[in-house]
Amino acid sequence: MDFKSIQALRAIAAIMVLLMHARIAVWWAKDLWDIPFISAHGMTGVSLFFCISGFIIAHVAEKGDFEPTRFLVKRLWRIAPIYWIVTTLAVLFWYTSNFWQADVDRLGWLGIVKGYLIFPQLGFPLVNPGWSLEHEVIFYILAAFLFPIVRLVGLFVALVILWVVGRCYGGWDYHIFGYPQLYFAAGIAAYWARNVSPGKLAPITVFSFLAVLLVLYKYWTIESYAFVLLMALACSSLIAMLVSLESRGLLFHPWLVNIGDASYSIYIIHWVLLPWIGKMAYHLGGSLELWRWLAFFICLAVGLLSRKYVELPLMRVKFMKSWNSRVKVESVLSKE
């Protein structure tokens, strides 16, 4: 099944992050409009991204032809090339214009190399959104090693245990015990609940998101771990509800699905576009509010173009096709 509901949710998550970050283009502005919820809490879109990853990996793993090496190569090839391109642009922009000088000073060349490798770092990589990719790669590695042995239930339990351990361990853990592990587990739970009646899922979704809002706007105070649990429940039930509704005939507008398809490009590329748009805004003048929205739509458009002319061609490269064909043949032969 082609989950258009998942792509619609990816679009929403990407738009949330992009809208919140768009003000970076006009960082010196004092009187920008406040976008309800987004301006202050747009980064919750990343939590939704993590849960969606858990759902998708569960779907991929349960297809019946899961092969760890092939899985890792495909997942890494899905995220790495665009990230390498954008990181290279960031280095070039720094070299020619001193953008991100503070980040380069903080990271040093070793940190920049680690960024290229998507290697877990204590601080943000040069392309800041890459921090979430570091967590994704850890999740992919765990899935590749654990799923063949303990299946999806075991992977879910392992992710929850890692998160619980992280509550007690305060040292640098290379993201192994990070809170996103619970979001990945919540995505797996959403996959299991995808056929549950929307009528049963809707109350959970509504009340959990209302509780999230109460916490974010400080009407209710809870511990950070409890908020992560609450957010995981909200995202998981939302994903399951929309997938269940889709299976019952709910349609999603093509433009939303298209943005969801391009969400990865949008999420990564906007970081190197915003400073240049800000530079134009500074020199050309005019309404900074207008420049913020112009930055948003430019990043959206470039992300869509990247999807069409960079992402999709990379996904069709010959070595990936030959790899897939070879693995399928080996899989058939191993069963004979």
The model's pLDDT over 218-270, given as tens digits with 9 standing for 90+, comes to: 999 999 999 999 999 999 999 999 999 999 999 999 999 999 999 999 999 99
Question: Which pair of tokens denotes residue 73?
Answer: 């190569």
CA distance 98 to 94: 4
pLDDT, position 321: 59
CA distance 14 to 268: 10
DSSP label at 309?
I
pLDDT, position 233: 98
Question: Which pair of tokens denotes residue 274?
Answer: 């915003």
Orientation of helix 224-247 relative to helix 198-216, angle to 10°: 150
pLDDT, position 326: 55
Question: Which pair of tokens denotes residue 7?
Answer: 């792509």
DSSP label at 286?
S
CA distance 324 to 46: 30
The dihedrals phi and psi of 214, each to the nearest 5 degrees, come to: -60, -40
Question: Which pair of tokens denotes residue 28?
Answer: 């010196």
pLDDT, position 323: 55
Residues of the chain with pLDDT under 50: 327, 329-336
Buried b or exposed e, range 104-137, using 16+ CB within 10 angstroms: beebeeebbebbbebebbeebbbbbbbbbbbbbb
Query: Helix, strand or coil for residue 37?
Result: coil
pLDDT, position 324: 59
- The one-letter code for the residue type at 320 is M
Q: Render pLDDT for 302-321 as a digit per residue (tens, 0 to 9).
A: 999 999 999 999 888 865 55
CA distance 127 to 89: 10
The pTM is what?
A: 0.94
Residue 237 to residues 136, 183, 311, Cα–Cα distance (Å): 21, 12, 30
